[in-house]
Structure formats: C-alpha cells, structure tokens
Chain A
Amino acid sequence: MESKESEYSVKPAAVFEHPLVLTFAQDVKGFLFNHIGALILFVFTCTSVLAVLLIFLFVAREAFPFLGKFSVVEFLTRNAWYPEASEGAEYGALALIVGSVYVTTIALAFSVPIGVLSAIFLSDIVSFKIRGIIKPIIEILAAIPSVAYGFFAVLVLAPWLQKHLGFATGTNALNSSLLLSIMALPTIISVAEDSISATGRDLREASYGLGATRFETMLKVVIPASHSGIIAGVVLGMMRAIGETMVVWMASGNASQIPHPWWDLSQSIRTMTASIAGEMGETVKGSDHYRSLFTIGLLLLVMTLLLNLVSEYFLSRARKSTGKS
C-alpha cells in the first residue's frame, strides 16, 4: 500500500526537463516531417490520376494506327464486321454499337421502373427494420460476379426460354437484357434511394398536409424534387450495363447483326464488349484486327467517360438541391 503511494508521489504530473518552446531544429524537423509526409501521400494519391491517364494513353496508342489507316466515319457507320476475311477485311462496327445500345436500352426499360419503385419502397414505405433486411439483399445482388450471371443465362435461362417460349435460340437479346437489368438494379436503387430519402421531410409533410395521398406526394413532389439523383442513378446503371462483358458475351448469341424488326427480342446480337472479349484471343498482336478491337475499346472508354460526366453533373445538382432544402 505504502510503496504504491510513494510511487504516485514520486512521479510528477509533468516533466519539465525540456522547455515547452521548440528549438529551431525541432521546429524544422516537425515542419519537414509534416509536409514531406503530406507530399508523399499526395504522390500516392496521384496514382489514380496516373492510372486514368495511362489507360487512355495505352488504349489510344494501340488504336491510333488503325484510325490512321481506316476512316473513322466508316468504322462508326458501316454495318460490315468481317475482320478475319483473308482479302479486303472490313471494319464497320455499326452492328456492334447498335447491339450495345440495344441491350442497354432494353435492360434499362426493365430496371428503371423496378429500380425507382423499389427505391420509393425502401425510403418511404417500409420500416427501418425491414429496410435493414432488404439492403443487404440488394448488396448481394450487386456482389454476384458477372460470370455467375452469365453462367445462369447460358445454362439455366437459355434452355428455359427455348423450351417454354419457343425461341430458335436461347442466347439472344432478351436473355442478355434481362440479366443486365438485374445487374443494373442495385446501382439504380441505391443512388435513387439516397436521393429520394435526402429530399427533406418538410416537402413531404407540406404535401401530406395539403391532403395529397402518398402516390400524389411521390409523383408530384418527391420525384420532381429528387429527379437529379434518380437520373444520376439511371446513368450509372447505364454505364454498368454498357460496359458489362461476361453476361452479354455468354448470353447474347454473338451474331453481329442489327436486329430486324427492331422489336423482335429473340434475335441474337453482339455488343462491343463481347467482340473485344471474343476476338482478342485469336488476333495477332499489331495486326489491323487487333488494333480495331482497341479502337472499339477506346470508343467504349470515351462513351463511359461522357456518361460519367453526365452522372457527375446530375449528382452535383442533386447535392446542391438537397443542400438548399
């Protein structure tokens, strides 16, 4: 007991061996330590910027010789993709571009209504407890790898479509769009739900106070108020769908044709991503075909960059509008 007490008493509350004012050397050391530390952190942080630059640089580097040799306009507007023809290979990627846009559009036609309705369900209708159960389920849906979705499309959905809907082939535009819509759903739901719940309580209460039903409040007040966020979600979902490779490669049938008539979903199509994935393995490095695939990659990159800018614009608008209310 006593020894302990003495221990306490021996130890002073603070040691003033060193003066509290730092010496010049210590000052400089601290300054350098802090700023060099920050500089190193900054350099590390710049890897993201470097990565983006390198991606553009290296994809473009492989693509540019092709663009110099063939006409860009023809590449974008002709429907003739015969890269492996022994004489007069043709590189008209219109069918591939149309294919990508086609499946993405159909996928969004499925997933946007379902996504927005689900977001409303989560933000305005259901209790916190159930919401806590459903959110992880959506996360699981987002986490399932695309190759597993593609696997399901080829080995489960395609035979089913063939058997029950009488399609000539089960791997077609409908199959891939369905899977793409499921894959785009989590993105749309989470972004839209964020923006819908960020719309203030005051707006809702004002509407309810005027005697509007929930449907009317949603349709006329909340959705208009949060439209920027919803659009951003849709654009992000679109990015996910257009850049998706494995599902469309496995489930779309890979026939490079423009669907005709356009509403017939049972036709096989081919997308840009699937062409790259499917043909790159067979090309000779440095050949025209190889470079043409890089050109498609560059086109995809530019498209996603533009979509990204659009989504950024809408997201910042959404942030601003919720900041005001």
Chain B
Amino acid sequence: MKADLRIIIDKLFTSLTGLAIASMIIALFVILGPMLYRGFGAIVFRGTVEFRKMQIAEFHHGNAEKVKQEAEKTQKVRQVVYDMIHRFRNGIDIEELENRVKDIHRNYGNELQQKDISREQYKELRDFSKEIRDKLIDTFSSDNIEKIKENIDFVLQYEMDERFVETVAIEYFTIARDFLKSSAKIDFEKRDFYAAELEELEDIILRLLGPAPDADTPMLAQKRYGATRLDQTNILFHQLFWKEKWVEQENSVALIKIENSRPEQFAGTELEPLFGYIKDNIKQMLNPKLTFYWRYFFDDSTPGHYFGGIGPEIFGTLLLTLLSMIFVIPFGVISAAYLTECTKEGPVVRIIRMCINTLAGVPSIVFGLFGMAFFVLFFIPIFGGPSQPCILAGSLTLAVLTLPVMIRASEEAIKTVPQTYKEASLALGASKFLTFVKVTLPAALPGILTGIILSLSRVAGETAPILFTAGIAIGPIPKSIFQTTRTLSYGSWDMAVSDKLAAEVPHNQFGMVVTLVLLILCLNAMAIILRARVFKKLKGH
C-alpha cells in the first residue's frame, strides 16, 4: 500500500475518533441546553399583575395592599373590554337574556313581597312586570328589526314610571337599550355563529385577563387568573387573532392546520374594535414586571402545576432519597469492608460478587415490581403497616437498587487507603477489626462520601421503581412515611406525558425537570470535586 494513502487513512481515523467524542459532547449540550434555558424561565420571567394576585390569593406571599392598588389601576383599562363583550353578548345570546329577564321578574316579585302593599296592588304590579317580561322575551326571539324597535320603544316608555323606580325591575331597561343598540349592527342570520365564536373569544380573554371582577370565583384553579407571565400573552395573542382548525387532508393520515383571522369574523360588529384595543393596551392591562420567583422551589402548586411551584416535589424527593440512604449506607459500607478487609478471594466471595453484579444489572422496572410484590404486599404488612404504596416501601426499594453502587464505591475508597496505615495500626497491637474502625474507615471516609453522593444522585433520578411503590402525581404533602408522595422524577414524567393541563404551561414542565437535572448534576459535581481532592491527597503521600 502507498505510504500516502496509509497516512491519509490514519489521519481520517484520528479525526473520526475526535468526531465521535465531539458528537457525544454535542449531544449533551443539545439535550441540556434547551431544557436549561426553558427551565430557567420558570424562575425568571416577566410577571404580570395576575401573577401577583395569584401569589397573594393562593400562597399569601407579597404585599396585599400594593397589589390591590395595582389591580384597581389595571382594572380601569380592562373594564372597557369587559363592557364591550358584555354589550355584545346582550345582543346575541337570547337564552341568556331570557333567563336574566325571568330572573328580574322573579326578584321583583320577591321584592314586592317584602314591601307593605295590599294584595291587589301586588297582583297588579306583578302582572305589569310580567307584561314587560313577555314583551322583551318576544323581542329577543324576533329577527325583524322593525318589530324589535317597536317593542323596545314600547318598553322604554315605562322607564321613568314610578312603579319601577328604585326596584330591581329597572334593569329591564338597561337590557332593552343594550339589545337595541347591538341588534342594530347584527346580521340576525349569523346570531348563532356569533354566539359560538363569542364563547371561544371569552375563553381566550379569560385566560388573558382572568375572570371579570363581578363574576363568581371559578371552581377550577387554572381559571381564576389570567396570563401570569408576559410570554404567555404572545401565545394567547396568536389565538386571539387567529382561530386554528385541524382539517383532514385527502390521501394522508396527518391533519393539517388552517388558521382563520378572528377579527375578520367579527368585522362589522360592535366587537371589531376590541382586538385593536387589547393589542394597544395589553401593557396597561397586565403591568408586567421582571420577576425572580425564588419561591418556585418552595411553593405548592394548583392541580396540574398550572400555577405555583414544586415545593412538595422537592420535599418528597429529598425525603425518599435520604430515607433510602439511611437504609443503604450501613449495608453498603459494611459489605465493602467485609469484601476488602475480612476475607480472601474464594467461592463464597465470588458468589457474593456475582450477586452484586446481578443486582446492578436488574432493570429498574423490575425493582418496581419487586418493591410492590415484596415491600408493599408482603414485608411492611408483616409489621402491621398498611399494604399500599408508601414512602417507606419506595425508599426500601431504592435502597436495594442502589446497594451495588454503594458497595462498589466504598470498596474503591477502602482499597485506596495506603497499606502502611493499616500496618502501622496492626503493629501497635490493634486487632483487625479495631484497625478498620479506627484507621481505615476514617481514612476512606471522603471516598465513601463520594459513593454516598453518587448513590444519592442515582436514587433521586429514578422513576420506574417508585411508580408502584411510592409516587403519585397529585396529592397532599405526606405527613408520615406510610403515605405516598410527589417526587421530582415522577412529576417530570407526569407533566411530560399524562397531564394535559401541564402542556399549557411549558415553563413549569421544564422547570420541574431542570430542577431534577440540576440537583443531580450538582451532586455529581460535588462527587467529582471530592474525588479529585482525595486523589490528590493520596498522591501526595
């Protein structure tokens, strides 16, 4: 073979190996980069007044007085939007209008009963109210503009009537006036279409600005506040201006997205200026400020992690890992001590080592099965515990899982202690056992600590073993170790895959997983630094 060719092949090979390692490092950055960047957004973002309202109402953090003033200020700008929608709704939603008119009639009747009037008078007033009610209901269902005008005029002539002044019935006239105003601009044929569109629009406004101040507090926590972050408004703006629709394509399984302009759909109606108004005044409505939300790591969250932080998850993870460490450290260190100090290689030790290696190779999901079959259904009930997933079962399972890691790391640490230390101790007449406890163990302690930290990081990230033994997605903060708990790893899985609500708050999804990754990377960095120092110290000898 030509020498040149051989050299070229050699150079190619060298660069190929470099490429391999480079691709691996690039993969690391590609995986961590976007996640870290987006997870960072869970803590530092431009928080709106809705965020501060939420913090006070849900978690009692912040200056209530100041936020109240701020909310009042923004409320003035928002009122225009609510009024616009309110008026528009009065013009189209017949059913709602009918109900309201009927309510007024009923309330008026109740009010009359409280008053000191005769039976005949009562009957007369009620009948009169009923007449107006029926007239209005008749008007609402009509689609003839002439008839509507006529009817409304008929009703409005009683506006100053002394029988109605200072009673609930006065509302009849506001409704009538609003209806006349909006119906003048509306195409009656499209009334149903507008009603459906308005529903969607109101939903978006609700998510943008929160419920109107006079509305009831919604049952679902995620509907109680508007956009808490400025970056959410961009998505909502897009939804506000563009109505998206998924359409089936011919000859393809995939659906295709079509977007229609929403302002165009409302063109010519009273609602048309709404879009421009929102766009121009969004800053005044939401009052965004740069927020550093450090309480993210301590706050509880509303269902689906829609608002709030990941406090219970961090607490659960720490509880589970520390408890499993309490179980595994004695067993791990003692096993390592026995294997390195007390025996010579033989069949018994070979079997033990093989078992440790097998244990290290068992898939994590099998640990989950084992934890359920053994700890949950068999072991804990023996001692009178509850036969259900709980923190104790989870941490015992994790302890078994991390036993090989612990043993190997401790063995490594004990082996690095120089032989001279032990010999010096033995020469002074100390027994083997005493030598181990008083000399070898303290010297190996930093190394063992490294092993402990590595086991911690392994345990903190495991999900499969706690699926059936300890983890839940939504639940209270545990009060004893016989309850289930939320954890970062389980929560990351749940938010990524099974929680539909969480998909709407990507910052919280990424915040959770990034917290987990950072926790583990910090532990690992600690272990790496510690190990480097131990290595240096022993090298110095």
Q: Which residues from chain A sit less than 8 Å from chain B, CB to CB?
A: 30, 33-34, 37-38, 41-42, 44-49, 51-52, 54-55, 58-59, 61-62, 113-115, 117-118, 120-122, 125, 134, 136-141, 143-152, 154-156, 168, 182, 185, 189, 213-216, 218, 236, 239, 242-246, 250, 273, 276-277, 280-281, 285, 293-294, 297, 300-301, 304-305, 307-308, 311-312
Interface 1/0s, chain B 465-489, versus A by CB < 8 A?
A: 0011000000000000000000001
A46: chain B residues at CB < 8 Å are 352
B142: chain A residues at CB < 8 Å are none
Given the known inter-chain contacts A44-B335, A48-B356, please indicate yes or no for A151 contacting B35, CB distance below 8 A. yes
Which 3 A-B residue pairs are closest in the complex by CB-CB distance? A145-B461, A243-B363, A117-B20
Contact assessment for B31 and A152 in the assembled complex, using a CB-CB cutoff below 8 Å? yes
Contact assessment for A125 and B17 in the assembled complex, using a CB-CB cutoff below 8 Å? yes
Contact assessment for B18 and A121 in the assembled complex, using a CB-CB cutoff below 8 Å? yes
Given the known inter-chain contacts A47-B335, A125-B17, please indicate yes or no for A182 contacting B27, CB distance below 8 A. yes
Partner of B431, one of A30, A44, A214: A30
B: number of interface residues (CB 8 Å): 87
Main secondary structure of the interface of A (DSSP, over half): helix
A115: chain B residues at CB < 8 Å are 20
B367: chain A residues at CB < 8 Å are 55
Given the known inter-chain contacts A48-B355, A121-B20, A145-B462, please indicate yes or no for A281 contacting B361, CB distance below 8 A. no
Q: Does chain A have a CB within 8 A of B62?
A: no
A152, B355: Cα distance in complex, Å: 34
Task: Report the nearest B residue to A22, measured CB to CB.
Answer: B429
B432: chain A residues at CB < 8 Å are 34
Of B66-74, B189-197, B520-528, the stretch lying at the interface with chain A is: B520-528
Contact assessment for B335 and A250 in the assembled complex, using a CB-CB cutoff below 8 Å? no
Query: Nearest Cβ distance between residue A115 and chain B, in whole angstroms?
Result: 8
- Could you give 22 example pairs across A and B, Cβ below 8 Å? A38-B338, A44-B334, A47-B331, A47-B403, A51-B359, A55-B359, A59-B366, A59-B370, A117-B20, A144-B31, A144-B32, A145-B461, A150-B493, A151-B492, A182-B24, A216-B10, A243-B362, A243-B363, A243-B364, A243-B366, A285-B377, A304-B358
Q: Does chain A have a CB within 8 A of B201?
A: no
B16: chain A residues at CB < 8 Å are 117
A312, B510: Cα distance in complex, Å: 40
Contact assessment for B433 and A300 in the assembled complex, using a CB-CB cutoff below 8 Å? no
Interface 1/0s, chain B 439-466, versus A by CB < 8 A?
A: 0000000000000000001101111100
Partner of B365, one of A114, A122, A189, A297: A297
Query: Nearest Cβ distance between residue A44 and chain B, in whole angstroms?
Result: 4
Contact assessment for B369 and A294 in the assembled complex, using a CB-CB cutoff below 8 Å? yes
With A55-B359, A146-B463 given, can you name 10 additional A-B contacts, CB distance below 8 Å? A48-B355, A49-B355, A54-B374, A134-B21, A151-B35, A276-B365, A276-B369, A280-B368, A308-B361, A311-B361
Contact assessment for B513 and A141 in the assembled complex, using a CB-CB cutoff below 8 Å? no
Given the known inter-chain contacts A44-B335, A45-B334, please indicate yes or no for A34 contacting B431, CB distance below 8 A. yes
Given the known inter-chain contacts A51-B400, A118-B20, A145-B460, please indicate yes or no for A140 contacting B521, CB distance below 8 A. yes
Q: Does chain A have a CB within 8 A of B404?
A: yes
A95, B316: Cα distance in complex, Å: 37
Task: Report the nearest A residue to B16, measured CB to CB.
Answer: A117
Partner of A145, one of B337, B356, B378, B489: B489
Given the known inter-chain contacts A48-B352, A148-B517, please indicate yes or no for A156 contacting B34, CB distance below 8 A. yes
Task: Report the nearest A residue to B464, measured CB to CB.
Answer: A245
Task: Report the nearest B residue to A31, measured CB to CB.
Answer: B431
A212, B18: Cα distance in complex, Å: 20
Partner of B517, one of A139, A145, A215: A145
Q: Does chain A have a CB within 8 A of B28?
A: yes
Given the known inter-chain contacts A38-B338, A121-B18, A148-B35, please indicate yes or no for A214 contacting B365, CB distance below 8 A. no
Q: Does chain A have a CB within 8 A of B158?
A: no
Query: Nearest Cβ distance between residue B30 and chain A, in whole angstroms?
Result: 9
Query: Nearest Cβ distance between residue A113 and chain B, in whole angstroms?
Result: 7
Q: In residues 127-142 of chain B, which contact A (Cβ within 8 Å)? A: none
Contact assessment for A140 and B24 in the assembled complex, using a CB-CB cutoff below 8 Å? no
Contact assessment for B23 and A114 in the assembled complex, using a CB-CB cutoff below 8 Å? yes
Given the known inter-chain contacts A147-B516, A301-B362, please indicate yes or no for A45 contacting B463, CB distance below 8 A. no
A146, B367: Cα distance in complex, Å: 15
Partner of B374, one of A58, A143, A144, A151: A58
A168, B513: Cα distance in complex, Å: 27
B331: chain A residues at CB < 8 Å are 44, 47
Contact assessment for B21 and A273 in the assembled complex, using a CB-CB cutoff below 8 Å? no
A300, B369: Cα distance in complex, Å: 11
Query: Nearest Cβ distance between residue B394 and chain A, in whole angstroms?
Result: 15
Q: In residues 108-134 of chain B, which contact A (Cβ within 8 Å)? A: none
A312, B331: Cα distance in complex, Å: 24
A62, B27: Cα distance in complex, Å: 41
A155: chain B residues at CB < 8 Å are 496, 506, 509-510
A158, B342: Cα distance in complex, Å: 53
B365: chain A residues at CB < 8 Å are 243, 245, 273, 276-277, 297, 300
Contact assessment for A34 and B433 in the assembled complex, using a CB-CB cutoff below 8 Å? yes
A149, B496: Cα distance in complex, Å: 11
Query: Nearest Cβ distance between residue A283 and chain B, in whole angstroms?
Result: 10
Partner of B496, one of A30, A151, A312: A151
Contact assessment for A48 and B403 in the assembled complex, using a CB-CB cutoff below 8 Å? yes
A160, B383: Cα distance in complex, Å: 51
Q: Does chain A have a CB within 8 A of B373?
A: yes
B104: chain A residues at CB < 8 Å are none
Contact assessment for A118 and B21 in the assembled complex, using a CB-CB cutoff below 8 Å? yes
Contact assessment for B370 and A147 in the assembled complex, using a CB-CB cutoff below 8 Å? no
Contact assessment for A58 and B364 in the assembled complex, using a CB-CB cutoff below 8 Å? no
A242: chain B residues at CB < 8 Å are 363
Query: Nearest Cβ distance between residue A215 and chain B, in whole angstroms?
Result: 4
Contact assessment for B468 and A281 in the assembled complex, using a CB-CB cutoff below 8 Å? yes
Contact assessment for B361 and A239 in the assembled complex, using a CB-CB cutoff below 8 Å? yes
A246, B516: Cα distance in complex, Å: 15
Q: Does chain A have a CB within 8 A of B56?
A: no
